[in-house]
Amino acid sequence: MSTADSFDEVSCPICLDTLRKPVRILSCGHNLCHVCLVEYSRTSTTSLSCPTCRKVIHVDSNSVESFPRNWTVESMIERLSISNKEQPTTSSTGSVRFGGGRNLSSQELIQLQSLVEQDMKEKRFDDAIHILRRIVRSVEGYHKINHVINLVRCLFETDQIEEAKEFCKDLQSTLNSENFASATKNICKNCDVDLRQLAEDFVEKDYKTSIRLLKCAFKVIATLHSGVEKLDKLQNTAFRMTKVAQEMSRQNNGNEFKSQFGFMDEITDDMLRVTDVDLKPKCKKIARCLFNKALCFKCTFFYSQSIEDNKQAILLMKAAFGDDAKFYRVVGQCYNNLGAAYEADKQLMEAETAYLQAKHVYEAVTDWNDDDNKQSSIGLTDNNLKRVSDQYHNS
């Protein structure tokens, strides 16, 4: 038997380390460390799914002690003189470095990833967590990024929020490393999609973690994407930040959003730096980003900043499209948001003018999704205009 085969025989599928005594053998023939089996069985007292083959195993008398010890494997461990201490190893075969003094081959990693994907698809999040937690703690460098994202998702789904938050901090630290750009080949190109969705899901649980995840997504987008795709992803990141701003406002913490001014500027600046896109589509996407940015500021009571960004978005659209700018919904949205910011800031005359402009644009717009959406927006703008007009003329 080769050394590699020996390692495979004495490796625990849960901790990915050398099996530790006592070694328990399941009815399906696979081995686990006793301590790993105890931890793994906590999710169910009557049955468990083998982490290797996924066979459902009945637990007799509600105790893992019912599983026999594998004396043969324990003897093999002694003969091979394998310890659990970290031993320096190198690999020239494309394997991934793990703790415990051994490498995990690419094939083994693929098998584990397949199990995780299956568990997550079938919503066996606790089973996936057992595998992912061990992988994340052992894999070095940027190989672990995709695993951390999956682990955070599973922890979120099982309401283990505090641990999920800690892994988010670790993820941000990894992505902020100076070597990140040179390691992008080890990162899933579209992992920013998962990060942005996680950020939205986290908003009500912990908006600070949502911001952290969106900054992670921004880092990935800035490094891995280009062209129209990059513009769309950055604009969506700004849109997700509006959810954060709304939640901060709901919790009466709107003033804290001031610390995110720089991040919002980074998103816009990165969009401006995109060069391989036609000017008009680029301007439209940047205008929508500015609208989202202005909406964030309005939600968190920074009205002057909101007014400024709405004006910039409108000017950008007019510069790109001329008189045809009035045919685009984003212009009407900016005027409407501008009116809301002016109104909140007690500038009623300016609010009335902005709402009136919004109504004119909405009536001319040609890129509505449907007529109901158009009529609803016009109706809401009419209500805003009437309310402000009454306040202004009666003041």
pLDDT in tens, 353-372: 999 999 999 999 988 888 88
What is the C-alpha to C-alpha distance for residues 244 and 256, in angstroms, rounded to an integer? 11
**Residue given tokens 């100076």 in the structure block:** 178
Residue type, 365: V
**Residue given tokens 């494997």 in the structure block:** 73
pLDDT at 98: 36
What is the C-alpha to C-alpha distance for residues 391 and 381, in angstroms, rounded to an integer? 15
Q: pTM for the whole thing?
A: 0.76
**86 pLDDT above the threshold of 70:** no
> 96 phi and psi, to 5 degrees?
-105, 130
Lowest mean pLDDT among 9-18, 209-218, 338-347: 9-18
**5 pLDDT above the threshold of 50:** no
- Cα–Cα separations (whole angstroms), residue 306 to 302, 317, 328, 344: 6, 17, 20, 11
User: What digits encode the pLDDT tens for the residues 181-199?
Assistant: 555 656 777 789 999 999 9
Rg of the chain taking only CA atoms, in angstroms? 28
DSSP letter, residue 68: P
Coil, strand, or helix at residue 367?
coil
pLDDT at 243: 96
| Confidence bin at 85 (pLDDT 50/70/90) | very low
Report angle CA 133, 93, 89 to the nearest 5 degrees. Answer: 65
**23 pLDDT above the threshold of 60:** yes
For the chain, give the longest Cα–Cα distance. 94
Average confidence (pLDDT) over 249-271: 95
Q: Which structure tokens are listed for 200?
A: 């939205």
pLDDT at 186: 60
- If one compares 130 and 98, the residue with the highest pLDDT of the two is 130
- If one compares 296 and 140, the residue with the highest pLDDT of the two is 296
Half-sphere exposure of 241 (CA within 13 A, CB side): 37
Coil, strand, or helix at residue 11?
strand
pLDDT at 181: 59
What is the C-alpha to C-alpha distance for residues 114 and 324, in angstroms, rounded to an integer? 52
DSSP letter, residue 277: S
pLDDT at 55: 87
- If one compares 179 and 196, the residue with the highest pLDDT of the two is 196
